[in-house]
Amino acid sequence: MKIPFHPKLLDCLPDYTQAQLGKDVAAGITVGVLALPLAMAFAIASGASPTAGIWTAIVAGLITSALGGSRVQIGGPTGAFIPIIYGIVAMYGFGNLLIATMLAGVFLLAMGIFRLGQLIRFIPVSVVIGFTNGIAVVIFMAQLKDFLGLQIAELPPEFFAKIKVLAANIQSVHLPTLALSVASLIFLLFYNRLAQTRTLGFLRRAPGPLAVLVLATAATALFELPVETIGSRFGGIPQELPAFALPSLSLETLGKLISPAITIALLGAIESLLSARVADTTIEDRHDPNQELMAQGLANIAAPLFGGFAATGAIARTATNIRSGGRTPVAGIVHALVLLTMVLVLAPLASHIPLAALSAIVVVVAINMGEWHEFKKLRRFSNNYRAILLSTFFVTVVFDLTIAVELGMVLACLFFIYRMSELTRIERLPLKEHEQEPAFLYPDGTLRITAWRLYGSLFFGAVNKLEILLDPHAGHPEVVILDMQSLIQLDTTGLEGLESLLGKLKKRGCTLLVCGLNSQPGSLLYRSGFIDHLGDENVCTTLTDALARAEYLLPPLQEDEV
């Protein structure tokens, strides 16, 4: 099998201009500055060190841009991964998180190689909204410890245990931390408005997360606030390149990490392709979903080798890249190089960053990532849509994202099957031209010929509707015509139903005629041998031809039947 590996970068280089290079460099610098505080904040919220988040952004961001299937996608750690990574770290440890991430990378790479990128689009929007809002709630709850400065050693990953621990320690709120967190949160929520004023117009030159880090760090140092910082908890950020190392692996551990790895791969695929699709509408381009998945796979395989963890396409950073003028993968490559430069030059300053400010950044990300307006719109939609969205949301918050997506997909499939079965119907056709002819009537006035028309799809969820043709109340015709001109699809269960119908009609001495076969149902009926049992002469082009054939087949009535 030929692997279709063709990064988008190769399509951009032949027509690349110096003017576009200037725009890409400017966009890369802007996104790089924005990515630094987000990478640290997401890493700390996930139970990892800020260094791990930074190197995830550098390595994964570089590979995503250089080898991806989108012109403008920016890769790195994202808020959606926080509850998943936190749970893996709490249950298996950070070392096993690296293994799970690499395993997820293998899954993503395989999905791209086998061209499964289009299948991600089959996930219903109700499922996506449900787990996105659920993740936002989980992220918000996980930040309460650092946001309030609670004296808790470690929050458990389980929902009810987390609620219990938070409630038991709510009296340990640290007021200086709370004050700094609230001030940072308010600043971020109103950042765009503040940046439009004359007094604070200079804020437009810096992204909100970076501005709040600078101001919060300055306030902490100026007022000597007794709050926890990156230095006090993690000992700072090393001003050096990380050591290249393979995580230790055992077969016993590998088996336990398959399920978490699938979760990482599934969420990474959904978020990266969703981000790329949103970007396409902005720049009027079309990404390659399979190439994007292969790049995400390679990024998640490579990042743990440098101490990083799970990464995917980041919608907010990708949007910032587009707004800043980035139009080729060069901007994403520059963003990774900017991050690398900042680590090697400014790492010592990061030790003074207060965790309360980083927590506020994550809280704002959680607020913004949730599509809360969709809850208000629920009353406009069907009960099926509501059930899928709310079930996915509830299970994501209380249990697990993987279970939530599985449940949402199962519900969506069941509701779809029910809906399709409702659209499939069989109606009896009136044969008025035969109702007055004695040769076509039994003595009781019932017709010796009946005609039925199939509508929709005859599949496993609707095959039981064929039973009406055998209903004693429908009479005992000698010829049954089945008009399939409105049947668009037939599956093997529907085929089995037709074969059963044919056999039962033959036992009654009744002949079955079919007409109006469309391409897919007709192809299956011929390939399966159904037409051989039915007889080519009993396959008609139109209903008129079928009626003529039925008239020919009717034997004369016996004297005792007249």
Token pair 């399966």 is found at 528
Question: Residue 76: enclosing H or E segment and its boundaries?
Answer: strand 75-76
**Structure confidence by residue, pLDDT tens digits, 441-494:** 665 556 788 899 999 999 999 999 999 988 877 667 889 999 999 999 999 999
Q: How far apart are CA 401 and CA 399, in angstroms?
A: 7
What is the per-residue pLDDT for 26?
Answer: 92
What is the per-residue pLDDT for 41?
Answer: 94
**Structure confidence by residue, pLDDT tens digits, 408-434:** 999 999 999 999 999 999 999 887 665
Taking the chain, what is the end-to-end CA distance rounded to the nearest angstrom?
Answer: 70
| HEC readout, 159-174 | HHHHHHHHHHCHHHCC
Task: State the pTM of this model.
Answer: 0.82
What is the number of alpha carbons within 13 Å of residue 103 lying toward its C-beta? Answer: 22
What is the per-residue pLDDT for 273?
Answer: 92
Q: How far is CA 166 from CA 160, 163, 176, in A?
A: 10, 5, 19
Surface-to-core class of residue 96, CB atoms within 10 Å of its CB (0-12 exposed, 13-18 middle, 19+ buried)? buried
Burial 493-527 (b: 16+ CB within 10 A, else e): ebbebbbebbeebeeeebbbbbbbbeeebbebbee
pLDDT class of 407 with cuts at 50, 70, 90: very high
Contacting residues for 345 by C-beta, under 8 A, at least 6 apart:
none
Residue 562 has pLDDT above 50, yes or no: no
Our measurement of the distance from residue 310's CA atom to the centroid of its chain's CA atoms, rounded to an integer in Å, reads 16
Of 300, 362, 499, 260, the residue nearest 50 (C-alpha): 362
Q: How far is CA 167 from CA 144, 173, 299, 358, in A?
A: 11, 11, 39, 23
What is the per-residue pLDDT for 118?
Answer: 84
What tokens does 306 get? 């440098």
Contacting residues for 251 by C-beta, under 8 A, at least 6 apart:
none
Q: What is the percent of the chain with per-residue pLDDT over 70, rounded to a whole number?
A: 94
What tokens does 23 get? 């725009």
